[in-house]
Chain A
Amino acid sequence: VITARLRDLDADAARAALGVIDDHPSTWSRRDFLRAIGWGVGGAALLHTLGARPAWAAPLGANDGVLVVVGMYGGNDGFNTVVRHGEPFYSSARGGLAIPVASALPLADGLGLHPNLGYLKQRWDAGEVAIVQGVGYPDPDFSHFVSMAIWMSGIRQGTPSSGWLGRWLDGRGDPHDALVAASVGTSVPLHMIGQSRRAVGVPPWGGGFGTGSHPNDLRLYDGLRAYAATPAGRGVWHDTVASTIRAQLDVAASTAPVFSSPLPDGELRRKLVVAARLINADLGLRVIEVSWGGFDTHDGQSSRHGACMTEFDQGVQAFFEALDPSWRHRVAMMTFSEFGRTPYANGSGGTDHGTVGEHFVIGANVLGGLHGDAPTLAGLQRWDRAAHTVDFRSYYAAVLDGWLGGGSSQVLGGSFGGLGLFRAGPGVSDTGPSTTVPPPTSPPSTVPPPTSPPSTVLPVVPAPDPKPQPVGPHPACFVPLPPKRILDTRRGLGAPTGRIGARSHIDLVVAGRAGVPNQGVVAVVLNVTGTGALGPTFLTAFAAGRALPGTSSLNLRPGTTTPNLVVAEVGEAGAVRLYNDAAPVHCIADVAGYFTSTAAAGLVTLPARRAVDTRHGTGLSAGKLAAGREASVKLAGLGGVPANAASVVVNVTGTGASEPTFVSVWPDGLTRPDVSTLNVVPGHPVANLAVVPVGEGGRIRFYNDRGALHLVVDVLACFTPEGPGGYVPVRPQRLLDTRVGLGAPKAKVGRSPVVVAVGGRAGVPISGARAVLATVTVTGASQPTFVTAWPGGSSRPSTSNVNVIPGQAVSNTVLVPLGPDGTVLLTHDAGEAHLLLDVLGWFTV
C-alpha cells in the first residue's frame, strides 16, 4: 500500500493534471506532470472549427435538461456513504470504521445513509434521490490519475484525450462559444473537454477580465466592443478577432451578476451556489461541473470522511435552496468519484483505493430509489475489492439519454443501456409538460435490430438510434453556385493522388473554396462521383469530426462510374468527411451550392413534372443528344417555376447511351464547367439529382461528352429569393431498410407503394417540414425499372427518381415533399426490390 501510494500521484495532483487551467496563471504542474509521464496534451486542444459566432445567453427551451456534475476527488468511500448493515460482512470488515446501525439514516431494509447526510435523506424520502449501486469499470486501476482519467473520459481503453461531456458538447449544434457547459473552478477538467469544444471556466470568485463596473472600465469595454462595430475590410480573421473580443466581454458580463451578492464559505457550497445562480440566470447552460477533494481517506477516516459528507450535504442543500423553483423540474445533479475504497479497513484507521462506488442522482424528475445491483461483499478477503455491478458508461448513458437529449452511443462509443434514472423528462412536472417545445423525438422502438448484415455493400443501421432533434433548429437558405470541381483523387485535386483506402476517409475542405464562404455555411451540396473502385463499396458523406452515420451516399462497383448529389453538413475545419467502406476507390466532387444561415433563397416545392424527354420530343426536339453537343431548355415559367427562380432542383436521367459518357448540367450563359452531373454507360439508364442555378433567359444547359444518349429531366423544386423553405440538415439516419424490416415489413417492394413515415423521426418535425432530402437506394432488383418517390396522400407522378439495375445497388438523392401525414411513398415500377431511405435533412414550411 505504501509503495502504491508513493508511485501514484495524490488526488489533488491528478486532478490538477487532468484539467486545463482556465484564464488564470498556472502553476506549471500540469506541464511538468505530462512531461514526466510522456503524454501529449491532447485534451487541452482548443480546436474551434470556425470563428467565434457570438450568440450569448440564449435561454433554454422548456424541455432542456440541466445537469450539475459533482466530482468527489480522492475516492469516496461508498461503503460508508450508503451503509450496508444487511451484510454481516460490513461490521466485521470495517471494524471501528463501521457506522453504527443506530446512527445511520434508514433508507431501506439493511441499508442506511451516512448520518451527516440529513438533507439528502429528506430528498430521498420525497422520492427525488436515485442511488446507483456498485458503479465501476472493468479491469480497475488504482491510481488516482489513471482512474480519474477513465471516469472523466467515459472510455475504458486507450489514452484519453477528451471527456464524456465534452464529446456531448461536440455533438451540439450551438455556436462554438455559446455558454452551453461551464466548470465552476480555476480549471476545466477533462470530462468537460471535447474533441472540438470545451466548457467555459467560471472562476468561483468571479472577477475575470470584463467584470469591472467602474465607469472607466465600462468605457474601455465599450471601446473594445466597438472593434466589432462594422466589418473592418481587413479580412475574415480581423473581424473574427474583433467579434471574439466582444464575445469575451459578453461572457464575462453574463456571468458577472452571479457574483454580485455574497457567497457562502466552504469550497463545495460556494461552487454549488455559483452553479445555481448560473442556472437561474438562464444563460443557456446545460451542464455545470463542480468538484472538490478530500476523499482520499487512508487514515483518520471517521472524522475526515464525516467532514466530506457534511460538506456534500450542505452543498446540495445550499444548491437547491439557491435554485429558483421554476427550474425544479429541469435540473438534476449527479456525483462521481475516481474509485471507491477497500471494503476492509486498513491498519491506520482508514481505507485504501477500491473499486466500486455508490453514486447519487438528485432532482425532482429523478426516479428515486435504488438502481443497479448491490455489490457482493460476502467472502471478500483482506485485500480483495468488490466487483462492479453497474458499468460507469451505463450510468453516463442513463444521464445522457434520460436528461441531456440522447446521443449516448456516439459519446460513449457503444450502447450502454439498462438504467432508467428519470421518472420524467426535463421540464415535465406532475401536471404534464410545462412546455411549448416538443420533447426530443425518438424513432419507433418496435423495429427489431438486424442480427447480421444481409449485404456487404450497404451499411445496416445497428439499432434504432434515439438521436434527438436539435433544439431550435435554424433553417438555412440555399445559395446555388456555378458547378466547380474541388476534389479529384485521380489527379491530386483536393486530396493526395490515389484511391481512398478501405475503411478510410478524407476530409474535403469546402469552406472558402469554389465560392463557398468561410463562415455561416450549414451544409454544402456536392455532386460526388465514385470511379475506379477495386471492389464493391460505398461512400458516406457527413460532417468532419462527427461519428460515422449508418447511412450511405453512393454505392459503387468495379468498372462503373457513379455520381450522386449529396447534401452534407460542414464539420470540423470547414470540411466534409468522405468515408469509403470496403474497397479502394477514386472520388471526385463538384460543388453545386451551399446552405447558409445568413442569406439567399428558400425552397419552393413543385409538383414533380417532366420538363425534358428527348425520346418523345418533350422540352427538346426528339432524338438523342450527340457527342460534344450542348442543348438548353427554358425552365423559368414552366410548371410553376417562377421567373425569378435562382436555381432549380432537377432529376436528370440519361438513357440509351451508345457508349460510356458523361453529362454536364450548368446555367445557360456560362462557359461549360469541368464537371460531370451524370455518368452513363450503354444498357442502363442512370439518374442523378442536380441543383442548377438558372442561367440567362431562365435556361439551363446540358452537354453530352461521347456517343449519343437520350436525356430525361424532371423538375422537382426551385429556390427563389422569397421561397419559404429553409433547409435544416440532420445527422443522416436510415428510416427504411426493407432487407431487415426497418420502417416497413421485411419484404421486397413492388408496384404497390411502401409508406415511409418521415415526420417525427430522425430530427424531422412532425409538422412544419415542407420536404425532405434523402438518399434512396435500391438493391436486389430482378429487372431493370425505376423507383418513384412522392408525397403521401397524393397520386403517383409520372417521374422517376432512381433507375434500377438488376444485381446492383443503386442510389440517388431525392427531394420529395412530405404528405400531410408526414409520409413519403416509394414504389418500384416493375418486379420487386429492396428499398432503403436515408434522411439527410428537411425544408421548413
Chain B
Amino acid sequence: MVHEVSLHPAMLLYLDNASNVRKSPNQNFARELLEWFLLGEGGYTESDVEAATYAWTGHNFNKASMSYVFRPNHHHQQPTTLFGITKVWDGPEVIDAALRDVPAKRAIAARFIARRLWEHFAHPGPPDAALDAVAAELEANDFSIRPAFRTLLLRPEFQTTTARQGMVRSPVDWIVALLVVTGFDISEANPQWYLEGMGQVPFLPPNVSGWRHNAYWVNTSAFTARASLARDLTWKLRERRMFETIPSMTIAQAIEHAATTLGMAPLSSTTTAAMAQYLTAQRAAGHHWWEATNFLTLSLLAPELQLL
C-alpha cells in the first residue's frame, strides 16, 4: 500500500514529489514518508531524510497524462547513505529497506504501525506488552495488517475498561453510526453539510499527520454542528414516523426502545436518568408529537452514541 500511495498522483502533488528532481530536491515527501508512513519521529536521522529525498528524485508527475512518470535524467545517480547503507538508492527501495531489509528499521516500523493501529482502534497511549505483540505479528507476517489486527483484537488489553471507553467517535464515525442505527441512506441524510462544522472534511485532514483523537473533536463549536445535524436528522426521521410509538410506552419502555433501536444498550445510569427526567417533564406538559421528536434528538446526541 505504501508503494502504491507513494506513486499515486494525489500523493505526488500533495507532498511535492512531483517537483523533486536531482538538481532541485524537495524533501517534503521523503520526510513525511519516514515520519508518518514508515518509522515515526525519532526513528530516522536527518541524513536519512536527505538520502531518501535523493532516492525519490525523478519520481514525478506528468501533467499531460495526469499520471505518475519516472524521469531517469532527473534521478540522482550518486551513492547516498540511508539507514547506514551506502549505494545508489531508488525511491521504492526506501520502503523495502524500512519494512523488510534493515532489521533495526523493520522493528521501529512495526512498533510505529502497531502504535497507530492501537491508537486508532483502542485508545491513546498503548500498553507496552500489547504494542510488542502487535508489532511482532507485523514483523512476522511481512506487515500484513490482517494477522496483526487479529492479534490486536484478541489482546486482553483491548478488552479493558480503558479500551472500551477510550475513544470519542470522530464526526465521520458518528455519522456512520447514525446512518447504521437509523437505516438512513447517506443521500437522504445529507450529513456532509455539517462535516466542516464538526471539524472533519473527508479527504482533507488538517495536515499530513492526519486527524487526531478524542479532545480534537470535543469543543462547543463542533458540538453546535453535531447538535444541528442531530436536529436535521430528527426532522427527516420523524417524517418516517420514527419514535412514533414512544408516547404510548411507559418511560422505562421508551428509554429501552431508544437504547435498543439506536444500538446504545446498556445505557449508563446517568443517561437513563436524563432521559427519564426529560420524558417525565414533557409528559407533564403534554404534546405527544414534540415528546417523540425531542426524545429522538436527545437520543441521537446521547454520549453513548458519540463514543466508540
Contact = CB atoms under 8 A, between A and B. Distances in A.
B14 interface: yes
A250 to B, nearest CB: 8
A223 B298 contact: yes
B224 A252 contact: yes
Contact of B268 (A42, A48, A210, A233): A233
Given A227-B274, A238-B268, A495-B42, A248 B196 contact: no
B220 A200 contact: yes
Among A23, A31, A247: residue with most chain B CB under 10 A: A23
A227 B212 contact: no
A516 to B, nearest CB: 12
Interface string A207-228: 0111000011101101111111
B270 A230 contact: yes
B224 A209 contact: yes
A25 B197 CA distance: 7
Nearest to B18: A38
Nearest to B270: A232
Contacts of B302: 227
Nearest to B108: A496
Interface stretch (A49-57, A131-139, A737-745): A49-57
Nearest to A56: B220
B275 interface: yes
Nearest to B230: A209
Given A48-B215, A210-B227, A216-B282, A26 B207 contact: no
A244 B207 contact: no
A244 B217 CA distance: 10
Interface string A562-598: 0000000000010000000000000000000000000
Contacts of A47: 212, 215-216
B156 interface: no
Contact of A216 (B196, B207, B290): B290
Contacts of A22: 197, 221
Interface in B202-234: 204-208, 212, 214-225, 227-228, 231
Interface in A17-55: 20-26, 30-31, 34-35, 38, 40-42, 44-52
A91 B121 CA distance: 69
Given A232-B271, A238-B165, A244 B223 contact: yes
B41 A496 contact: yes
B306 interface: yes
Contacts of B271: 227, 232
A495 B111 CA distance: 12
Interface in B38-79: 40-43
Among B40, B212, B270, B281: residue with most chain A CB under 10 A: B270
Contacts of A229: 270, 273-274
A176 interface: yes
Contacts of B303: 227, 232, 234, 238-239, 241-242, 245
A237 B166 contact: yes
B194 A25 contact: yes
A160 to B, nearest CB: 13
Given A25-B194, A41-B206, A220 B224 contact: no
A237 B215 CA distance: 8
Contacts of A21: 196-197
B278 interface: yes
B277 A222 contact: yes
B274 A226 contact: yes
A51 to B, nearest CB: 6
Interface residues of A, number: 72
Contact of B269 (A233, A235, A245): A233
B183 interface: no
Interface in A497-550: 498, 509, 512-513
Nearest to A44: B206
B193 A26 contact: yes
B176 interface: no
B13 interface: yes
A607 interface: no
A228 B199 CA distance: 23
A841 interface: no
A513 B124 CA distance: 11
B161 interface: yes
Contacts of A45: 206-207
Contact of A242 (B108, B217, B270): B270
Contacts of A247: 220, 223
Contacts of B13: 38
B125 interface: yes
A316 B14 CA distance: 44
A34 B270 contact: no
Contacts of A44: 196, 199, 206
Among A25, A216, A219, A225: residue with most chain B CB under 10 A: A219
A248 B223 CA distance: 6
A193 B230 CA distance: 26
B205 A40 contact: yes
Contacts of B225: 23
A465 interface: no
Among A226, A228, A573: residue with most chain B CB under 10 A: A226
Contacts of A772: none
Among A40, A41, A238: residue with most chain B CB under 10 A: A238
A200 B221 contact: yes
Nearest to B306: A241
Contact of B125 (A52, A219, A509): A509
Given A45-B206, A48-B215, A227-B271, A219 B307 contact: no
25 contacts: A23-B224, A24-B197, A34-B204, A40-B205, A41-B201, A44-B206, A45-B207, A46-B216, A47-B212, A47-B216, A51-B218, A52-B218, A210-B224, A215-B285, A219-B281, A223-B298, A227-B271, A227-B301, A233-B269, A235-B162, A237-B167, A238-B303, A238-B304, A248-B223, A251-B224
Given A41-B201, A512-B125, 17 more contacts: A21-B197, A42-B207, A45-B207, A46-B222, A48-B218, A52-B219, A209-B231, A216-B285, A223-B278, A223-B281, A225-B274, A232-B269, A235-B161, A244-B220, A495-B42, A498-B42, A513-B125
Interface of A: 20-26, 30-31, 34-35, 38, 40-42, 44-52, 176-177, 188, 198, 200-201, 208-210, 215-217, 219-220, 222-242, 244-245, 247-248, 251-252, 495-496, 498, 509, 512-513, 573
